[in-house]
Amino acid sequence: MMITMVSAYSGIERTLEIPIAPLDYEKWAEGALIQRVAPYLTPAEREFMKSGMYGDEFAQHREELARENPEAFRLSSGEGRI
């Protein structure tokens, strides 16, 4: 299925072929979590469905967040936990 999303990070509009079943897409569009309705998608495909980010853009966004608030990012990634 061709899916068009606008990146929450850059504002770039992209259209990708995402191998999601129409019924699963409908459930997601109605508010279900993408990882629940389409666990067969790759992490990159799921991220694209959630945020419109794809490829290196997601990594760049994470790096920017880490630079802006390193302590919060470190704790949210599981570092420093017992």
**Predicted local confidence at residue 73, as pLDDT:** 59
**Predicted local confidence at residue 78, as pLDDT:** 52
Number of domains in the chain: 1
Domain contains 81: no
Q: Could you say which residues of the chain have pLDDT below 70?
A: 72-82
Residue 62 backbone dihedrals phi, psi, to 5 degrees: -60, -40
Domain contains 14: yes
Domain that holds residue 39: 2-76
Domain contains 63: yes
**Predicted local confidence at residue 81, as pLDDT:** 43
Domain contains 46: yes
Give yes or no for a contact between 33 and 73, defined as CB atoms under 8 angstroms apart: no
pTM of the predicted model over 0.85: no
Domain contains 82: no
**Predicted local confidence at residue 45, as pLDDT:** 94
Domain contains 51: yes
